Amino acid sequence: MSTSTLLPRRSLDDIIEGLTGGGAQASNVTGHFVTPARLPRHGVFPDALHPLLLQALRARGIERPYTHQAAAIAAVLAGRHIVLTTPTASGKTLCYNVPVLDRILRAPESRALYLFPTKALSQDQYSGLHELIEATGAKVGTFTFDGDTPPDARKAVRDHGQIVITNPDMLHAGILPQHTRWLKLFENLEFIVIDELHTYRGIFGSHVAHVLRRLLRICAFYGAHPQVICCSATIANPVELAQTLTGLDLELVSDSGAPTGEHHLVCYNPPVVNRELGIRAGVVRTSYRLAAELITQGVSTIVFAGGRLQVEVLLKYLREAMVAAHQPPDLVQGYRGGYLPLHRRRIEAGLRNGTVRGVVATNALELGLDIGSLDACIVAGYPGSIASLRQQSGRAGRRQGKSLTVFVARSSALDQYLVTHPETLVGASPEHARTNPRNLFVLVDHVKCAAYELPFEPNERYADLSEAETAEVLAYLATHGVVNESAGRWHWTERVFPAHHVKLRGIPEENFVVIDVAKDKVLAEVDFRSAHMTLYEHAIYNLDSDQYQVERLDYDNHKAYVRRVEPDYYTTALTESRVGVLDEEGIRPAGPVSLAHGEVLVSLKVVGFKKIRFHTNENVGYGDVVLPDLEMHTTAFWLTLPDAVLAELPGDREAAIDGLAGLSHALHTTACVELMCAERDIGRAVGDRSAGIFVPLELRPGPAAEAPASEFAPTIFLYDAMPGGVGLAEEIHKRAPELLARTLSLLEGCRCEEAGCPACLGALPGYDGRARTAAVALARMLAQALTE
Amino acid sequence: MKLGDRLRRTLGEATPEGTAPGSPLRDELERYGKLRERAAAAARGELGEAVSLAAVSDGGLIETPRGPAWVVDTRFELTHLHGTRRIGTFFDTELEHLPALVADERLHGRDARQALFLDIEATGLDHGAGTHAFLIGWGRLDGQELLVRQALLREPAEEEAVLQLLVDELERDPLLVSFNGKSYDLTVLQSRLVIQRFYHRTDCDLKLRPHLDLLHLGRNLHRGRFPDTRLGTLERQLLGFERIDDVPGHLVPSCWFHFLRSGDAGPLGGVLLHNLHDVVSMVTLAERLAHEALPLADPTRDAAVSANLARLLLRRGMPGPAREVLAPHTPHGLEPDGLRSLVTAARRSGDAAGYRAALETLVRAAPEDAAALGSLARLLARDADTLGRAVELAERAWKAHPSRVAARRLAMMRRRLAAASPPSPAEPEELTR
């Protein structure tokens, strides 16, 4: 072993020691977890594997599989569907490539379909698979089929592709609706490989579940019953997720036999810089300092940042730090979406030969990374899920020797919760990947697509619907003239191509364009919902650290006209949500309060904006905004308190209402933790439901004065922030007791002690102890009522 | 709450009259002149009884092993004139020259009397699995008549029976003739045959059958003559046939959807007529195109068509027939395009004198054709007597298209000319740089 690989080990030890050993930084470290090294455990390849394949594996240096690989291969050869969840870089691809190639080498007419969530991953997979096939010396037609496949090559893929690598979007709009042209594939389809399974969650996952059901429905038409092989990052419910997505029974393979070195996870909370507002040092600056220290001392390091802008800033800072330390700035490289494979290969090679030592990547790229293993990983801000955090962390991890991951928390409530409860991040994954294929919007769209693909047979059951439910949906579509019932079968009778109107990755509302009036040039596109928050008139719109002011918003034509300015402030939108209950289910009284969940109509209104001065963050003015409401039909959980409960709280009425708002904030934070979703996935509103439609409390000049006390019914809503919902509300309802217990401990245990801070009560107008006292009293009362 | 109720509440009730949102049939029909009144009356609810299928066409049911199919048969005497052309002529037309011309060996040995003219009306323009061919029309020789059979889906469930009739027809191993069938009609039908399980394995591919697509032949022969080469245009220009009150193609699916939802067959009458015209027009169009495509000297053929045909023949490696085709028009009846074909044909058949003559004509007709000027210059430069003219042509070629090749050629010819004669004027500045 050369000194260049020995040296970093020692520095890494020093740095770990510096962080955790009681030095200056140690007060910021809230958690330190060590995973001990693990030796490899090997199995054997089945003797029955095709000799060419065994020979190819040996040629590539694989004499024996790890135990999990052997188990997976054996299960697939025995004809079972499997889900594989082993850590990053444990050799998952071998688990499906071996059985697939074995089958194709024996029966060349066999076909396999590989699904990856992104095009870039498909390309990576293609090159890896190609090398293995080359080594067998056999000809196996392997093609990627996506939007980039030229039209004249498509026929070749359809006719000769033994392994077709694609993504859900292409399957949905380019393959399934044209299935009659893919006769060879569907009649002979033996394997469906679904990699990065855990990314198919939320609304995207709900769509993908339908795409997969449609795929299996078409396979059944052609008499094919393919085996399904899923691979997932570590989540709490891989089998449940795979079953929801495919409707099949799958066997779990999760015990990794791959070796790992000793791994340290350090949770780092930047120091408080403004005690009153509870604001901490920025995550970018803190991450930069840590990364610079690691890289200059020779430790290969990857930094994951939240967005493109943060990547650019970190890259700039780190390169400056290299120059200051008399090291070449090229030692640090960016790694963003949109990089060409060749460029990425160059960075990967640089990491191996030592010409690159630091990489700054966006969260979005955690999946596509194939850059070997590094010594250290810095996660700058919670990436939105523990699975993501672990996947990022997995990039630091040698098969031998130590590695380090530092999670640096932002000031936001969720990050703060996690960094102060670091045990949440380790151990068995608490994280459930959720999808809701019964989301009506999604469901109806895909029933249409399915009807387009094949007529519905009499008594057919679609996906997880019952016969009767399937018939109800079809009857509904028939009243709209979309399908026609003829002799018991339902046929598609529209001239449009439904898959073109169904986007798997979000609502296809038209974007707004941002136009620079001075240059008459389009600067950017902003999605429909965000436009309401960022493009109102007089808003300061930030782009690549330049500021523009919105001069005019042409709402009907989706255009915002902006002019470059250099203000000393930025703007944030003030919004209010109103929630109207459409359907109430599962009402559960608990002492004086009642809990329920059901369908709601949420309307979000931007009522105005605040001007906030840069650096000092002081409020320097307000403005009005007049924009149409954003309406969304979704599901919500709610909790209604009788007025009498509020009246019994310590402090006056104002404190009680502030306490209620603060409690809703803490509840939101703990719900995000408990359900392991990003903060934006759950919406929050506090209101009075006595009026039928829920008027936000803050808007009422004197709630008690206006309505008779008996009718005033303050309510906290937590709603699914996706149209139709992905099942979060029902889950919150189910877990309400744990959630309130957790909320109580958050409020009681917050280090702000008395006043309240963004990490517990949220951004209240002015913190005072009375609101916190009221919130704690409420939480205690609720937690108690629910456990009884 | 039941799923159906939730759907209605969340996604909305159906609009009245059962028309689909996003296909505003009434608006479309209003644009369709002949049906305007009917549609308006229907919209006012004054139409009373819907018009039955029997009222718009005298079809009937045929029993098949897969259920009944609704069929309209129309017979034409072979002496029948469609536009200005007799429909029977096609069945005596020689087709032996076509396989080489359209580069499809499967047409070999096929007789015009085996032709099956095929045209579908479908519910959309995409080729996806959800596009239905709701009306399939086919025409063939039946004794001393042209029989056009149109099979209509009264409802989607009748598709199997309708396809059964088509499959029976295909059993006779016909020569398929279509207009754009390669990318449309046959693609849609193939998909329907797969979905209705007539075809299981890919060796039953409709597209592997002998098939003449008139769109491609028509486009090749009549390129550049009319604004487009759609069937309607070719009918008017070549067949002397003009449709009156034809249903515009984009309204065709709506007419069937309307029938399906309301039972009113009124608009379908127009669609049946439209499809019938398509089939019959293909018969006379095929005859005319087959005739025009004969690789022979024919002074009555339009010079532009001859030029197109010659170009097609050249592309298929037949310079001899290409020259023959151009001969009656040579040289002055030809546009530069035809002349270029003539030049190529002469060169490929090794006729030096013909080549030179054709090039001379071409540079007169197209004085700025750099390629022609260059070729002629090269040819003339071989002979000392014509070297001076070669230089002049090479100069013109260079001016028309100042390429490096042209410059080099010009410089070389100048040097040779200078060596053979007194000094020439100074070379252009650009060339000495």
Q: Is the pLDDT of residue A78 over 90?
A: yes
* B7/A476 Cβ within 8 A: yes
**What pLDDT is recorded for position A340?**
61
Is the model more confident about B136 or about A641? B136
DSSP string for A107-148: -TT-EEEEE-SSHHHHHHHHHHHHHHHHHHT----EEE-STT
Q: What ipTM score was computed for the predicted complex, to two decimals?
A: 0.82
Report residue B375 as tokens. Answer: 């070729």
What value does the mean pLDDT of chain A take?
84
Q: Which domain holds residue B340?
A: 298-355
**What pLDDT is recorded for position A531?**
84
Residue B263 is given by DSSP the state: -
- Averaged pLDDT for residues A348-373: 75
CB contacts < 8 A, A to B, total: 116
User: Which residue in the block uniquely carries the two structure tokens 């330190």?
Assistant: A32
**A494 touches B23 (CB < 8 A):** yes
- B260 with B155, same domain: the answer is yes
**What pLDDT is recorded for position A450?**
97
pLDDT digits (tens, 9 = 90+) for B367-387: 989 999 999 999 998 888 889
Minimal Cα distance from B6: which residue of A? A440
One-letter amino acid at A498 equals P
Instruction: Identify the band that residue B47 occupies on the pLDDT scale cut at 50, 70 and 90.
Output: low
* CA separation for the pair A452, B128 (Å, rounded): 8
* B19/A452 Cβ within 8 A: no
Instruction: Identify the band that residue A457 occupies on the pLDDT scale cut at 50, 70 and 90.
Output: very high
CA dist A498 → A207, A453, B130, B175, B190 (Å): 14, 10, 9, 35, 21
- B40 with B59, same domain: the answer is no
**A629 touches A701 (CB < 8 A):** no
Residue A456 is given by DSSP the state: B
pLDDT digits (tens, 9 = 90+) for A381-400: 988 778 788 888 888 876 67
* Displacement of CA A198 from its chain's centroid (Å): 9
**What pLDDT is recorded for position A689?**
65
**What pLDDT is recorded for position A461?**
95
One-letter amino acid at A85 equals T
Helix (H), strand (E) at residue B285: helix B266-292
Residue A485, C-beta contacts closer than 8 angstroms, at least 6 positions apart? A474, A478, A491
- B401 with B331, same domain: the answer is no
Tell me whether A700 touches chain B (CB under 8 Å): no
* CA separation for the pair A50, A45 (Å, rounded): 11
* CA separation for the pair B189, B184 (Å, rounded): 9
Is the model more confident about A127 or about A35? A35
- B334 with B250, same domain: the answer is no
- Tell me which residue of A232, A164, A159 sits closest to A200, measured CA to CA: A232
* CA separation for the pair B418, B5 (Å, rounded): 96
Report residue A28 as tokens. Answer: 């910021």
Residues in a beta bridge with A485: A490
A600: left (phi over 0), alpha (psi -120 to 50) or beta: beta
* B130/A481 Cβ within 8 A: no
Instruction: Judge whether B63 lies within some domain.
Output: yes
Q: Is the pLDDT of residue A3 over 80?
A: no
CA distance, residue B118 to nearest chain A CA (Å): 21
CA distance, residue B262 to nearest chain A CA (Å): 11
* CA separation for the pair A773, B76 (Å, rounded): 96
**What pLDDT is recorded for position B203?**
54
- B139 with B177, same domain: the answer is yes
CA distance, residue A483 to nearest chain B CA (Å): 10
Tell me whether A444 touches chain B (CB under 8 Å): yes
* CA separation for the pair B389, B291 (Å, rounded): 43
Report residue A141 as tokens. Answer: 């037609």
CA distance, residue A554 to nearest chain B CA (Å): 26
**B397 touches B416 (CB < 8 A):** no
Minimal Cα distance from A489: which residue of B? B157
Instruction: Judge whether B362 lies within some domain.
Output: no
One-letter amino acid at B217 equals L
Boundary of a domain, candidates B328, B355, B382: B355
Instruction: Judge whether B7 lies within some domain.
Output: yes
Boundary of a domain, candidates B241, B269, B292: B292
* CA separation for the pair A674, A668 (Å, rounded): 10
pLDDT digits (tens, 9 = 90+) for A468-522: 999 999 999 998 888 999 989 999 988 888 888 887 776 546 678 888 999 888 8
**A636 touches A602 (CB < 8 A):** yes
**What pLDDT is recorded for position A598?**
87
- B197 with B156, same domain: the answer is yes
Instruction: Judge whether B361 lies within some domain.
Output: no
- B154 with B224, same domain: the answer is yes
**A414 touches A386 (CB < 8 A):** no
Report residue A362 as tokens. Answer: 């966006």
- B124 with B227, same domain: the answer is yes
Instruction: Judge whether B360 lies within some domain.
Output: no
Report residue A74 as tokens. Answer: 């054996």
Instruction: Judge whether B411 lies within some domain.
Output: yes
Report residue A431 as tokens. Answer: 């994280």
> In a mutagenesis test of the B interface, which of A445, A452, A495, A722 is the best target, namely the one with the most B β-carbons within 10 Å?
A495
Phi, psi of B301 (to 5 degrees): -75, 140
* CA separation for the pair A158, A166 (Å, rounded): 12
- B238 with B213, same domain: the answer is yes
Angle among Cα B315, B321, B323 to the nearest 5 degrees reads 90
Strand pairing category for B145-152 and B133-142: antiparallel
Residues in chain A within 8 Å Cβ distance of B202: 183-184
- Averaged pLDDT for residues A210-226: 96
Angle among Cα A2, A7, A8 to the nearest 5 degrees reads 115
> In a mutagenesis test of the A interface, which of B5, B17, B125, B126 is the best target, namely the one with the most A β-carbons within 10 Å?
B126
- Burial of residue B6 (CB within 10 Å: 0-12, 13-18, 19+) is middle
Phi, psi of B116 (to 5 degrees): -125, 110
Domains (range + CATH), chain A: 3-31+260-425 (3.40.50.300), 51-253 (3.40.50.300), 440-501 (1.10.10), 512-567 (no CATH), 583-601+635-787 (no CATH)
Residue B334, C-beta contacts closer than 8 angstroms, at least 6 positions apart? B303, B306, B307, B326, B342, B361, B365
Residues in chain B within 8 Å Cβ distance of A491: 132, 156
* B7/A494 Cβ within 8 A: no
- Tell me which residue of A513, A575, A576 sits closest to A550, measured CA to CA: A513
Helix (H), strand (E) at residue A723: none
- B177 with B204, same domain: the answer is yes
Phi, psi of A143 (to 5 degrees): -135, 145
Instruction: Judge whether B423 lies within some domain.
Output: yes
Neighbours of B423 (CB within 10 A): 7
Boundary of a domain, candidates B292, B308, B337: B292
**A685 touches A719 (CB < 8 A):** yes
Percentage of chain B beyond pLDDT 90 is 55
Instruction: Judge whether B77 lies within some domain.
Output: yes
- B122 with B251, same domain: the answer is yes
- Averaged pLDDT for residues A281-308: 88
Residues in chain A within 8 Å Cβ distance of B22: 494, 496
Instruction: Identify the band that residue A365 occupies on the pLDDT scale cut at 50, 70 and 90.
Output: low
**Three-class SS of residue A94?**
helix
Tell me whether B129 touches chain A (CB under 8 Å): yes
**What pLDDT is recorded for position B119?**
97
- Closest by Cβ to B129, choosing from A453, A476, A481: A453
Top-confidence range, A217-226, A594-603, B317-326: A217-226
* A177/B128 Cβ within 8 A: yes
The angle, 0 to 180 degrees and rounded to 10, between the axes of the packed helices A92-106 and A119-136 is 50
Instruction: Identify the band that residue B21 occupies on the pLDDT scale cut at 50, 70 and 90.
Output: very low
Number of domains in chain B: 4
One-letter amino acid at B10 equals T
Cis amide linkage into residue A40, ω under 30° from 0: no
- B287 with B433, same domain: the answer is no
